[in-house]
């Protein structure tokens, strides 16, 4: 299967954000992610904030995390750039990006 450069794929992204951040910083982190997607020609379908939840195991000495689920469409080649930004972000403890079946 050969994909054209304008082919959008559907993705689901779960973020675990530092629970000690104020609400406006959490919203700013979410806005950065959704802004990246829309600036690159993608479309955000839903952003669902689950709030603070207990982690299965400590991450960077945190036992809680603020969970956010985002569903969006984006060109496949841009997901590497998105994940690179998430990995270097100090506010994001973990993320999981999954391609959804069309």
pLDDT tens, 44-101? 999 999 999 999 999 999 999 999 999 999 999 999 999 999 999 999 999 999 999 8
User: CA–CA distance from 59 to each of 30, 71, 93, 99 (Å)?
Assistant: 20, 24, 7, 24
- According to the model, what pLDDT value does residue 2 have? 45
The pLDDT of residue 95? 97
What is the per-residue pLDDT across 44-54, written as a single tens digit (0 to 9) for each? 999 999 999 99
pLDDT score recorded for residue 6: 61
Query: Does the domain formed by 9-99 have CATH 3.30.70.60?
Result: yes
Using alpha carbons, select from 39, 49, 32, 42 the residue that is nearest to residue 9: 42
């Amino acid at each position: 299967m050969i994909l054209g450069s304008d082919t959008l794929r559907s993705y689901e992204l779960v973020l675990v954000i530092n629970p000690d951040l104020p609400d406006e910083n959490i919203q700013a982190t979410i806005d950065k992610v959704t802004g990246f997607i829309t600036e690159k020609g993608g479309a955000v379908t839903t952003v669902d904030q689950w709030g603070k939840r207990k982690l299965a195991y400590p991450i960077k000495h945190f036992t809680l995390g603020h969970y956010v689920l985002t569903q969006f469409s984006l060109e496949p080649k841009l997901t590497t750039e998105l994940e690179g930004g998430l990995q270097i972000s100090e506010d994001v403890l973990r993320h999981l990006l999954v391609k959804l079946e069309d």
